[in-house]
Amino acid sequence: MKTLPIPEEEQLQALAEGLKDVYRLLREYLGDLNKVPNFGQHITVSKLNLINYLRHHPEKVQKHVILAADITKLHDIPALFFDNGKWIVCWTDHGTPVGITYFDDLPEAAANYLMAYW
């Protein structure tokens, strides 16, 4: 295992890739996550840190965007899509968007989407 704390740059890189990468990173530093209470406390970067990171790495954002029509296929996960001139981040309940938040800015929307679990 690597030595804690997890460097901010590594946290930002993993968050920008998505949840699987965040869990991979946490396992590198903590080992078996089933044996670590509150492992999420080791993700210490702020949403503002991630927004700034995504502004400098816009190529990492687009892969998280879905088509608005695809929302009907999702359940109990966050979603990021563009509709009626706004970026939308929401949770999904059997294909229905709930807890909708609107954004004018894609990096800000993406950071909210990517940090939905943190």
Average pLDDT value for residue range 21-37: 97
pLDDT 10s digits, 36-86: 999 999 999 999 999 999 999 999 999 999 999 999 999 999 999 999 999
- Point out which residues pair with 2 in neighbouring strands: none
Which amino acid is located at 64 in the chain? H
Average confidence score pLDDT of the chain: 96
Q: Could you give phi then psi for residue 105, rounded to 5 degrees?
A: -115, 125
Statement: residue 118 has pLDDT above 90: no
Are residues 81 and 88 in contact, defined by beta-carbon separation less than 8 angstroms? yes
The span from the CA of 94 to the CA of 74, in Å, is 6
Please compute, for residue 50, the number of CA atoms within 13 A of its CA located in the half-sphere on the CB side: 27
* pTM for this entry: 0.92
Statement: residue 26 has pLDDT above 90: yes
